Structure 1
């Protein structure tokens, strides 16, 4: 009897199914240190206990995207082990800060399926929720992924396409309990800009760039216990290249955005996201942002809705005349960030 797990294929998913993912993970200060080593991360709230205490929290929470990747990694053996590509995100909400010592686990509900016309792959939509050791939800999001079929001739489930919100309403963002910016130290944070200093439609070139190394992206992906074959096995793609985990690009772009958005301390929501083109080791990644909206979500707490674009090319280039993403664009992420109003 074969005891190994070959992963699920497209025809194995049924809308309404709830999947409990192995293995719970206790996150600690080591994860924070390694995260900060892998990315040029400098946001003060997740770097300094003293800074976080001055902002009303019990200490420095772990980086929001570190939590996202940890929860995401739990889902990979059940959702995307046989993926061709992770396609997008929606309705993401960070519900509760996670601190060193917390234990995270995850479950996903299948909310949509649709076979592709080639009959060799299909798209699966899941809503994933991450929980801490007390059973409290810390994160929820929808993602959709293209998955191989086991056999092109196998009948597929009837298509179900989920209805997803265009974005998370500012009123639905969770502001961490106790958070305030009354005594916020802009000098220590690194920049003087409040949420009110940014104009809707403003674009920011984050200036800095990082070249992705093979060892670093594989170390990062292993850190999240993400086992997707395309990230590690060079024989899994016809071109013999390891695909960079999309979350690695997200964290890299978010870290690069510090230069110009240093006070965007908390990722509170993910409205939409697309991995526009594949990324490989040797690519040099740059980032730019566009301010899409602005809101007040608490006393002295503002939220910026931001488009974060990671690219190999020039800033402020997104799509060509044909409406398709420019070939150099790697990531198009629409998210909410909390910062002083």
Structure 2
């Protein structure tokens, strides 16, 4: 008599724990995903995004992009979602991003697949978790790189007594050099329609150090963030399963907060049409249903590009729980009563990125 007890469990996948990762390990992630116009429509239903290139095929074509690309963050979320079952299914939290570049626009009909290389490992002092650094690359159906990025994530250990690996923390660039930004082929802003775009502000209208309060806010709900996260096929337990966290709350996927803040930034940055790179990003604090997300931006730098009429604007996008009219990123270090080491109360996201804008 053949028994299936024990065999069934071996056919399922509990995901990787910290001790399952090895330096240099390459993981080919499952389930290629084809982007459709439905993704564009659902994205617009979930986030209040109004950027003209992703919204209007006519506007995109006038800027040299036909067919009209979807929002860059759709590609990011889909590519990121592919990595979750192998990298962060057993995560405590996704901690940050660096060296993310968008190499080419994604249009409906493109099929994305993702692979990741483990580039760093560090066990935490508690011995129960560790931080895994990976470099992930998403390609389309022609094998062309669509985007690549680094991220680091805190992952549970399966066995607290498992030996710690040698600590390797990768040296990542603080910012993507403007010379390394990839401008989409054919992009031309010389005949840019500021009326259709929604605001007149061009590259020269922004000053380094300037802060922009995006004013509007959106209250997060469980149905919306869970639907969005499922849309990207992100299977991380903490977003869906109330048993996955001691507090019994569903953690909002950090990418949901990124997209919400990016959409809110339209008010004041309507001409920041395309994200070219994400220099750095930190999910400063967890977000949950019931939190109202507001956003503000700081201009960090400007740069020229070789494309006609196209400049680059480096921005810090900050999402907050509730509106912070003072637009304060950091407060006093609570350990000393001075300095600016700690993030200010209510900060959810600190994202540093390059956007392409008309000159």
Q: TM-score range by the shorter chain?
A: over 0.9
Give me the whole-angstrom Cα distance separating, in 2, the residues matched to 1:337 and 1:127. Answer: 22
> SS at 2:159's partner residue?
coil
Q: Which residue among 58, 81, 87 is the counterpart of 1:79? A: 87
| Correspondence for 2:180 | 172
Shift of 1:183: 1.2
Give me the whole-angstrom Cα distance separating, in 2, the residues matched to 1:45 and 1:300. Answer: 15
Q: Which residue among 40, 46, 64 is the counterpart of 2:48? A: 40
8 Å CA contact 1:221–1:245 kept in 2: the answer is yes
- Ranges in structure 1 where 5+ consecutive residues have no aligned partner: none
Shift of 1:303: 0.4
Alignment of 1:137-216 (within 5 A): 137-216=145-224
Shift of 1:217: 0.2
Question: How large is the Cα RMSD of the aligned pairs?
Answer: 0.6
1:108 matches 2:119: no
| Correspondence for 2:315 | 306
1:217 matches 2:225: yes
> SS at 1:23's partner residue?
coil
1:317 matches 2:335: no
8 Å CA contact 1:15–1:111 kept in 2: the answer is yes
| Correspondence for 1:338 | 356
Give me the whole-angstrom Cα distance separating, in 2, the residues matched to 1:317 and 1:166. Answer: 21
- Ranges in structure 2 where 5+ consecutive residues have no aligned partner: 1-6, 334-340
Give me the whole-angstrom Cα distance separating, in 1, the residues matched to 2:40 and 2:23. Answer: 36
Give me the whole-angstrom Cα distance separating, in 2, the residues matched to 1:300 and 1:44. Answer: 16
8 Å CA contact 1:75–1:107 kept in 2: the answer is yes
Give me the whole-angstrom Cα distance separating, in 1, the residues matched to 2:242 and 2:345. Answer: 23
Give me the whole-angstrom Cα distance separating, in 1, the residues matched to 2:302 and 2:65. Answer: 23
The number of residue pairs the alignment matches comes to 341
Give me the whole-angstrom Cα distance separating, in 2, the residues matched to 1:318 and 1:190. Answer: 28
Shift of 1:59: 2.1
Larger radius of gyration: 2
Give me the whole-angstrom Cα distance separating, in 2, the residues matched to 1:46 and 1:90. Answer: 24
Consecutive aligned runs of 4 or more in structure 1 exceeding 6 Å deviation: none
TM-score (norm 2): 0.94
8 Å CA contact 1:43–1:265 kept in 2: the answer is yes
